[in-house]
Chain A
Amino acid sequence: MIFCHSLYRQFYLAFALMLFFALPAQAQTFGAQSASLENGMQVVVIPNPRVPVVTHMVWYRVGASDEAPGASGMAHYFEHLMFKGTQKIAPGEMSKTVRRLGGNDNAFTGQDFTAYFQSIAKEHLPKLMEMEADRMANLAPPPEHFASEKNVVLEERRQRTENDPRNLFTEQMRSALFINHPYGTPVIGWMSEIKTYEWEDVKKFYDAWYAPNNAILIVSGDVTMEEVLPLAQKHYGPLSPKTLQERARTEIAPAIGKTHMVLQHPVIRQPAFQRIYVMPSHRMNKQDALALDVLTEAMSGGSTTRLYQSLVVNQKKATSVSMSYNSTALDYGTLWITATPAQDVTLEELENLIDAEIEKVLTEGMNEAEVKDAIQRLQDDAVFARDSVSGPAMIFGHALTTGSTIEDVENWPQDIAAVTLEQVNAAAKTYLDPQAPYLRPPVTGHLLPEVQE
């Protein structure tokens, strides 16, 4: 609901400005500034004056993992419905208006967040805010759109997942890993469940979660906090906060057996190995997450690092190998190892060689130069990350909706630089030891042609 308490606006604005703070200059990677509106909406501005454009994003602290059991995909389906009009604006009209003004718009849903964004010439920022604030409170899609948009989502699932068994397999590996935790359910939802919920269910979800005090406004580009805050106050300030329910999350159940999954399928021609571990997220354990960032970069940050050099260049048992760690999650992080075997190498042999590499790290540790080089590359990545308007907004949105702070993002290069060889080796032992798995053993998958060649 929008309240037109114009008399109070000046007060709100003054109050909001008091909360506005900036980080000390030496700690800044992106130079982000943060403030809060009276209604609890956080405002983040990342100034970048290179081009007179802005990326405007609103992130909600709600995602697929906040859905009720049996209603998988609802957060994402709802995200689609957010484009279907309000009491003021016709279905699709917001996107058309953004296009007419020379901008692009879209949205995405994750396990822990839902985000809506537009990139546009900076003078159109007020119009974006007006429309985004409107749909935060006044969404009113005409009923004839519910079913057709449901069909769109079903087509999206077919396109992303059902049409390629490799994607179905990856989905099922996640599911096997996250027993009793919502991360095991795909964001887009299960086909059978997507079909079940109706507008009344979805409306409850909207009413429960879409509120200024559950939202973060992020504006990146050729603007300052002094420009953005009054606009934010004008458009988002009048929205009423809501009493938010707790984001009750379950814990993954212990699994004592090893989980090994195999998919043999007629369309698979290239065997592939993949393994997923549950890891701490940045929120759960910042220090270990930083050490794991360095460990994975040192193990697999390009063709000169350990895994590729050993398996692909020297032993010639694989044609590709990678290890990637995702720490951006409200609950658990994940670490994937994927590899494709060279011709005539079985997946069993490849898996043993990968295990041997892990064993080597556990017993001998990484070396000083590997860690130092990895840290340097990660720090340089942070400089390259500034070379974008939308990219930094994405980084902050992911961080702030998964329990990290602005300082965590701004100080990340310094925090990474402080990671020691000992911490990296300790992280490997804590999280990769097959004899003493963290929370539960990883899930290993083998993708194979129907008849193994």
Chain B
Amino acid sequence: MKHFVVFFALILLSACNAKAQDRFLDIQQVTSPGGIEGWLVQDDTLPIIALQYVFLDSGTTLDPEAKQGLVRMLSNTMDEGAGELDSTAFQKALADHSITLRFSASRDGFGGRLKTLTRHKDKAFDLLKIALTAPRFDTEPVDRMRNANMTRIRSSLADPDWIAARILNDRMYSGHPYAMNSGGTLTTLPAITPDDLRDFYTQYLTQDRLVVVAAGDISAGEFQMLLDTLFGHLPAQGPEDIVPGADVSNPGTIALYQKDIPQTVIQIALPAFGRDHPDYYALQVLNYIFGGAGFGSRLMETAREKEGLTYGIFSSISDNRKIDLMRIGTSTKNESVMRMLEIIRAEMQKLQTEPVPEDELNNAKSYLTGSLSLSLTSTDKIASVLMGLRTQDLPADYLDHYADKINAVSAADIQRVARDILIPEKMTVTLVGTPQLPEGLDNLVTITDIPNAE
């Protein structure tokens, strides 16, 4: 059965537009006998099954400051031995069946993904089950993963983008747990023990925090029963989420880390808002016009196409669970850093003062609504779309109404949001390089040590 494609009208009448469709994505919502909810898009075109799962509010934000990297290390070691299988035996079982089983840690959650060929699904589910039920945290793989992380950090110390990200994180999230380095530091990683990993695993991988989705060659009935098999044994409830919300810190400052390289990396944060805000869709359209589009965005047009100052400049919305923000990133030769900052400020001001022309607005809407199907071109991508809906608490028919929400945004809405968000004075700026700056910049802060690295 092919539940997935719902664009039949389009296929038959290629001149028609997308309004002919009924449902954008045929999402099945199932609940296991044990009460675990799962969303599924079934599609047997290929013999591939993808599963994604996340434990919300169980992310790296919960790392103790002296053990930064703890949750990342958990993600590195949950697939390094479980039950009767030691690290090598477990990895061998995955490799021999071409199963991808990975855990991952973000600031906001601990999760993972499983991808398997249908013919190896029983083995894949079994391995995921023992990884979730009986992870071993043997000393050998824990040490090995720690060393790999420390190597990664030492290597990254040569990478100006990584340095800029460390500094911007430290400054824009100052005073909030988000400011820590999710990947750990050279000092904190050695402090993490197998018992720390075990404790976190026991406390935070609980059913009340769990979100599961699947896509591909699996039936709703099988998925429904699988939910209990994989996750039914986990504790029902974990500790309350106590991480506070916050706003972007250090607005109006420019942090400079001097590095002898020909091009300065520029990373900027601005306070923004999340999906619960009535102007959320206007913010999406604004971001696209400002810098989200890549080619054709205002920042790209001015900084790259007109002035040849950079290979790329982008803005994006970071819709985190605790701090929402807009980010702007680019790089330019040291001589043109001030000009680049001027361009960014000027484009912000222009969006505040002048309404976006009708055709530019329509083009933005047309991309945002018309490109949705590009996010569904593989089993993994479909699972990711489902995960995005669920982690943001969106209804299963959200995508069916997305175009209406975007199309309702007016030039006045965009200007209002620009006045709220695109405020040059609120930028938290990080520069890494040897930029030519004028004397006496009073908001300049010189950074000499890379925060949360050593």
List the interface of chain A (C-beta within 8 A of B).
49-53, 83, 91-92, 95-96, 99-105, 119-123, 147-156, 158-159, 162-166, 222, 265, 267-270, 272, 301-305, 309, 312-313, 316, 319-320, 340, 342-343, 373, 376-377, 380-381, 383-384, 386-391
Contact = CB atoms under 8 A, between A and B. Distances in A.
Contact of A340 (B14, B151, B261): B151
B63 interface: no
A312 B145 CA distance: 10
Interface stretch (B64-72, B345-353, B371-379, B407-415): B371-379
Interface in B318-360: 331-333
A151 B332 CA distance: 10
Given A148-B307, A152-B311, A162-B262, A268 B158 contact: yes
Contacts of B96: 373, 376
A103 B371 contact: yes
A163 B46 contact: no
B309 A155 contact: yes
B157 A270 contact: yes
Contact of A100 (B367, B374, B379): B367
B374 A102 contact: yes
Given A304-B92, A309-B88, A269 B155 contact: yes
Interface string B154-179: 11011110000000000000000000
Contacts of B10: 52, 121-123
B367 A99 contact: yes
Contacts of A91: 305
B91 A304 contact: yes
B194 to A, nearest CB: 17
Nearest to B7: A52
B295 A99 contact: yes
B98 A151 contact: no
Nearest to A103: B371
Nearest to A100: B363
B62 interface: no
A158 B370 CA distance: 35
12 contacts: A50-B4, A50-B45, A51-B5, A51-B7, A102-B366, A102-B373, A147-B308, A155-B263, A155-B311, A162-B262, A165-B158, A384-B115
A320 B158 contact: no
A92 B296 contact: yes
Contacts of B11: 52, 122, 222
Contact of A304 (B16, B88, B157): B88
B301 interface: yes
Contacts of A166: 155, 158
A270 B154 contact: yes
Contacts of B7: 51-52
B95 A304 contact: yes
A383 B48 contact: yes
Nearest to A101: B370
Contacts of B306: 148
B306 to A, nearest CB: 7
Contacts of B332: 155
A275 B376 CA distance: 39
Contacts of B275: none
B46 A387 contact: yes
Interface centre among B151, B158, B262, B308 (most CB of A within 10 A): B158
Nearest to A152: B308
Contact of B155 (A119, A270, A304, A316): A270
Given A270-B151, A304-B92, A376-B98, A96 B377 contact: no
Nearest to B92: A304
A319 B46 contact: no
Interface in B68-92: 87-88, 91-92
B371 A123 contact: no
B380 interface: yes
- Size bracket, chain B contacts: 35 or more
Contact of B310 (A50, A121, A152): A152
B117 A380 contact: yes
A104 B374 contact: yes
A50 B158 contact: no
B304 interface: yes
Contacts of A154: 333
Contacts of B262: 158, 162-163
Contact of B366 (A100, A305, A381): A100
A51 B369 CA distance: 16
Nearest to A303: B91
Contact of B261 (A162, A272, A377): A162
B293 interface: yes
Interface in B137-161: 140, 144, 147-148, 150-151, 154-155, 157-160
Contacts of A83: 295
B238 interface: no
Contacts of A122: 10-11, 14
A119 B261 CA distance: 36
B374 A387 contact: no
A342 B143 CA distance: 11
B388 interface: no
Given A270-B154, A384-B48, A99 B363 contact: yes
Nearest to B145: A319
Given A149-B308, A269-B158, A388 B377 contact: yes
Contacts of B57: none
Closest 7 CB pairs of A and B: A102-B370, A151-B308, A148-B308, A270-B154, A380-B98, A158-B263, A156-B311
Contacts of B1: none
Contacts of B331: 155, 158-159, 163
A122 B12 CA distance: 11
B15 interface: yes
A383 B333 contact: no
A268 B98 CA distance: 36
Interface string B209-245: 0000000000000000000000000000000000000
Contact of B371 (A95, A104, A272, A305): A104
B259 interface: yes
B108 interface: no
Nearest to A99: B367
Contacts of B308: 147-152, 155
Interface in B283-309: 293, 295-296, 301, 304-309
B98 A164 contact: no
Contacts of B312: 159
Interface centre among B47, B95, B379 (most CB of A within 10 A): B95
Contacts of B307: 148
A103 B374 contact: yes
Given A50-B45, A304-B95, A373-B95, A387 B380 contact: yes
Interface centre among A104, A267, A387 (most CB of B within 10 A): A387
Given A52-B5, A83-B295, A102-B370, 20 more contacts: A51-B7, A53-B373, A92-B301, A101-B366, A152-B308, A155-B309, A155-B310, A155-B332, A162-B262, A163-B331, A265-B158, A267-B158, A270-B155, A301-B95, A304-B88, A319-B144, A340-B155, A387-B379, A388-B377, A391-B378
